[in-house]
Structure 1
Amino acid sequence: MVIAEGSPAPHGLRPADVRRDLHGIADLLAEAFSGELDEVGWRVIRELRRWSRLGWLLRGLEVFLPPGERFAPGYVWVEEGRIVGYTMVRRLRPGSTGWLIANVAVAPDFRRRGIARALVSACLDYARAHGARWAVLQVRADNLPALRLYQGLGFVEIGRIRIWRREHLSPPEPTPVPGFHVRPARPTRDLSALLDLVRMAESPALRLFEPFEGLSAWPPGWPFRWRPRPLWLLETESGDPQALAAWVRREGIPTLRLFRRPQTVPSPPLQWLLALALAEIAPGPPLMAVTGEEPDLAAALMAAGFHPVRTLIGMRRDLAPEGWGDAG
């Protein structure tokens, strides 16, 4: 059952209201995720608090936005006037039948009371009522209670994403490897091979949550040197593409995307590829990298000075149209 907007709820579950809830949602996210927020997460919380001053204006603008594309889509749980639970639900993109559930947060003192389950279930009902055919979410691999909750609600794993960080150290010394060749990729000449390599390497989770757009925006000037070469290709001597290292901007942070053929690539040529890619980046803030769970890429990144920050599990649940029953 979908709980309608404007439903009276002095406590318990109700739809989030952009006019009055943004500051409380920001406070909750800061409390619930205080030990794992990075620079991007804290920036989002600061922006929520700033936007909370414009709640009535945002509410007026929401009249022109379809369900799932508004400023505070989702549900809150209220106790004694305080927001102690929140979950966001929105379309993955305008007009999509796939919806995203995110920011499942419950204040520490109110956990293990069924609040998270109620919030996620309400979001699933809302998405289904507005045409969703499937929903996805991400959960940290070490968050076992949340993982069990989502599995109990019918979500299944579709892939894992590893986030890496490297302080801005000097790049490792490139060491050529016999039988391989590393060169700057040229999208005009190499586009077909690059697209095939990315398609083979991307898991469904990467494709949904970290879509790679480095081949559609050429050349991306910042944060590279005056002669930008953000794409580096590892090939065999016969010209067979093996791996791609691509610099992108992820939430404003220089981030390395790595893709390799489905079979394992030896570590020495991957380290050569990384060394040349790292030599391209201009001095600045710490660097990030995003991969799947490939052991060979992990070994090469660690050899180049990266360390894992977190592993996220992508999960998906198919949704039957409203009235067909609910598997969760």
Structure 2
Amino acid sequence: MTIRPFHLPHDLDTMNALVMQGFEYPENPEWSIRADEKESMLDRVQGAKRMWPLLRFLRFFSPIFKDIMRGFIAEKDGKPVGLINFMRQRDEPEWNIANVTVLPSHRRRGLARQLVAAVLDDLRARKARTAILDVVDKNLPALRLYQEMGFEIFTGSLEADLEAGAAIPDPTLPAGWTLAPRSRFDWQSGFELAKRITPKNVARYEPPVEARFRFPPIRPLIGSLFMKLGGDDSKRYVLRAPDGTIAGIAWYSCRTKQGGMNSAGFDLDPAHPELAQFMLAHAISTIQAASPGRRIEFNFSDWQPALFQAAEAFGVKKRFGSHRMGLKFQ
């Protein structure tokens, strides 16, 4: 067995193939990658390949682009059988680990442990401060592996779906409240909200400090181009109270190409749970109008239960829960 570094852009197709095969769980089908997810992922991989000349140039000027996607690939007799990716968060020494994937035919041989160990060794050499990953809460073998390697659970989330269906009417906000489009260059709104509402257990690994939110102006432009080439359009909103206080933010991804899926995420001040229903209604009606006939995938933080409770009223169904785990190097 050989474990080698992940190389851009040559390994994008390899990554795509491994994820599509490796994220299949016949015994737990709700964990498996769905057909529309595969369609979206394929378009995004093709978009990334088209953007590579620009990204290669930008890597000389910013750690964000230099470390946009690193990783390792495990090979058996020259054939890829496992994958892991990791990416820097902003310019901070904080890293996200993703796509921990082993083909079903090569599981239970310690390969995932070798891949994670390779990443942790690499991050130590880079003087990383923290590493964060997500794992399905009922995937006990993976959970035990990460705990044995030093990760601890610090929060969680719910993945949920709304299948394509009848449109819902636009919601009406209480008097004085506003929900307005948010500029792609606006990092301050998310920072202001996070400072007020981030729980202590989450702040231990994802502290609401300015450096984690501020980004160079070119980053949202590159992100917008990547989404366009990948067949998606992003929409962002900010919810304000009558006194101007930011009470919530929302972000939607709407498909512009054939096939694929839509998605949405939210942050809402827990002091205003009564507005969760409005935020969900706005998300569903906006996405359905922009990209009808497709499933909408939602991600809800477990410390914001009002959002999922509101979603259930619109027919959103839980798919699975996840633990968010962190490891500190320093």
Q: TM-score range by the shorter chain?
A: 0.5 to 0.7
SS of residue paired to 1:298: helix
- Counterpart Cα distance in 2 of 1:19 and 1:246: 31
The 3 A distance-change label for structure 1 pair 109 and 168 is same
- Larger gyration radius, structure 1 or structure 2: 1
TM alignment of 1:88-127, pairs within 5 A: 88-93=85-90, 95-127=91-123
Question: What is the deviation of 1:117?
Answer: 0.5
Paired position in structure 1 for 2:300: 291
Query: How far does residue 290 in structure 1 lie from its aligned partner after superposition?
Result: 3.2
Aligned length: 288
SS in 2 for 1:28: helix
Judge conservation of contact 2:21–2:103 (CA < 8 Å) in 1.
Answer: yes
CA–CA distance in structure 2, aligned partners of residues 147 and 39 of structure 1: 27
* Counterpart position of 1:319: 329
- Whether the 8 Å CA contact 2:73–2:82 is kept in 1: the answer is yes
TM (norm. structure 1) is 0.66
Q: Which amino acid is the alignment partner of residue 184 of structure 1?
A: T
Structure 1 CA distance, aligned partners of 2:157 and 2:254? 14
Distance, in Å, in 2 between the alignment partners of 1:68 and 1:276 is: 33
Q: Which SS does the other structure have where 1:117 is aligned?
A: helix
The corresponding residue for 1:307 is: 317
Distance 1:71 1:31 in 2: 23
Is 1:24 paired with 2:11? no
Question: How far is 1:107 from its partner?
Answer: 0.9
Is the contact between residue 242 and residue 265 of structure 1 (CA under 8 Å) also seen in structure 2? Answer: no
Counterpart CA distance in 1 for 2:189 and 2:67 is 39
2:268 is matched with which residue?
260
CA distance 1:64–1:195, change in 2 (3 Å): closer
Question: Which secondary structure does the structure 1 equivalent of 2:157 belong to?
Answer: strand
Measure how far apart 1:16 and its partner are: 2.9
Match of 2:75 in 1: 78
Structure 2 CA distance for partners of 1:273 and 1:133, relative to 1, 3 Å = closer
1:271 alignment partner AA? Q
8 Å contact from structure 2 (residues 130, 326) kept in 1: yes
More displaced stretch, 112-121 vs 23-32: 23-32
SS in 2 for 1:125: helix
In structure 2, what is the Cα distance between the partners aligned to 1:51 and 1:173? 35
Which ranges in structure 1 are unaligned for 5 or more consecutive residues?
1-10, 321-328
Secondary structure at the residue paired with 2:315?
A: coil
- Root-mean-square deviation over aligned CA pairs: 4.8
User: Aligned runs of 1:90-239 on 2, under 5 Å?
Assistant: 90-93=87-90, 95-166=91-162, 167-171=164-168, 181=175, 183-185=177-179, 196-202=192-198, 204=202, 230-232=237-239
> For 2:248, which of 222, 244, 249 is the aligned residue?
244
Output the CA distance in 2 between the equivalents of 1:265 and 1:51. Answer: 38
Post-superposition CA distance 1:221-275 (Å, at most 9, x none): x979xxx99445577xxx7979536353378776544433335835xx6435544
The answer to whether the 8 A contact 1:91-1:100 is kept is yes
Q: Tell me what 2:277 maps to.
A: 271
1:91 positional shift: 1.8
Structure 2 counterpart of 1:36, which letter? I
Q: Which residue of 2 aligns with 1:323?
A: none
**Deviation per CA, 1:33-71, whole angstroms, max 9, x where unpaired?**
14224645544346557978999x89x979958799367
Q: 1:67 to 1:200 in 2, by over 3 A?
A: closer
